[in-house]
Structure 1
Amino acid sequence: MTGSALVLAPLYVTPGAILLWPGASAITLCLGHSIGLHRLLIHRSLEAPRWFARVLAYLGTLVGMAGPLGMVRLHDMRDWAQRQAACHDLHAHRAPLLRDAWWQMHCRLDLARPPRFAPEPALRDDVVLRLLERTWMAQQLPWAPLFLWAGGLPWLVWGVPVRVAVGVTGHWLVGHITHRRGPQGWSVDGVAVQGHDLPAAALVTFGEAWHGNHHAWPESARLGVEPGQADPGWWTLLALRRIGLVWGLKEPVMLVPRDGLRRVAVGVPVATTRE
């Protein structure tokens, strides 16, 4: 995807294609990846009807990183590794920039004694999620002819390879930075890897850049937990709650602090919203 995006994107530029790219990216990254896969399926920080959870998982699959079960497995493996007293450079994002990019986006981790992935029955037995898992790479294909019909080659190029390449690369880059440096409101004692915030990327990541907050409160549906921290994913969840599509949104005030959690920055209390 990245190669075709780099070669073809400069050759096929139209106003419609330029608008399609951020629009489609916002839908798949915010509704799909951030809300559907990360906050709902992985951390169970909210509830939704099964049909809507499946729609969100489908949109998250379109981001192009993995299927829904694959995302849960990769995330759980990384989080487990980071919470140990020592963590391999791969899961700590400790390698230099280019090496980490190669490892994270182009390599597969083979362990001599891999842990057994045991997803909860709601994930394991869901026929739609299992179908998406088996066919996640092919999920881009139905959109290719649709974009081609609607806007020609520019829409095809910017709607599929450019969107996927930028989304996957951006996800890695934010993860690389937020596991190495940046401001922190919280620290967790006894773990190998801390989370840091990247305020400049809060809007374009739909709140995911508040990664220090996320390490502190992993089960919170709200990532921008401090007043003034932009979290478009949370704003979207509030809108979805108003129309009855989600409920049970968890916030830090509702959660038991994780072991070792402590404040490292002076600030106002963690915010809560009761809309």
Structure 2
Amino acid sequence: MKFKTDKEILMAHAELFIPNREELLSLKTHEPLIQFEILPPKGISEGRQSRVSILEYSVEGVSRRVIWKRMGVGKNLTESEAKILQSRLVPYRGELVGSGWNIPEIYHSQIVPVSSEFQIFSYEQYIPGGDGQLMVENPDEPQFLKWMLLRKVIESLASYSDIGEIEVQGEKLSGLPQGLDLKLANIVVERETGKMFFVDLFGPKEIKDGKWLTYSKKLDSLSESNLMAIAASREGMILRLYRLIEQKWVESGGITQERLRKNLFHLLDNSSLPEKEVSLIKREIGANFPWLDKIYSERQI
């Protein structure tokens, strides 16, 4: 078996982010007077629903950067579906900011027909620093930064005061006023300040009267209730994120599963999370995630 070199892997990764001809034509239509340079996608993991590029431009000799997202790629969204999702981006961002999350600014978004579907082009604030997935799986990144990321997520989730109750797959959970697709690739830690940002607002995870406001089977393979469990409950969000961290971190070396779990339990014990939530999370991790596996086993095909 022939393995790819690091250079070949980097080139294949970069190709996923290279704008196609239609995208470039739309960009030129939106910004006819600006000459953009498309930078290498350093620090950005491959997305499931969006293509992301870093654009650089110059104003009076000063270089500036912006994130250019093409949301809904390959999801076959109709124009009306895209309009609904686009209309909720700014309100959803406002809800998250109101709940204490740091969210990059959305400068502008626009519906764009691309091939046989409609996408949302979004121009957003650039946050210097790689995403959490690339940080955790990189053995050259110090472990104290990885612990900081996990601690900040737990602190952010623990800070919610507007907590309800939901029950999914036999577990009573603490429900949040809005959901987040809280995976490693959607978290960026700004290098200079250590400030943590949540960077993915597509599709918006707003909740109204206990139900998703804009749920779509085109975007989510989980049922509405199962999605609520892992994207809008504190216990489910921590379990989902921690399992991703454990997998990536142990694979990259430098730490064992036993030590990682022991240190996580210490973080949980010293957090402001209610004891019943900490107990459920510990029990689920100690049993190797049977409840989480059940949630994911019921994907809609």
TM-score after normalising by structure 2: 0.24
- Larger radius of gyration between Structure 1 and Structure 2: 2
The higher relative CO (CA closer than 8 Å, separation ≥ 6) is in 1
More helix as a share of residues: 1
TM-score after normalising by structure 1: 0.25
More strand as a share of residues: 2
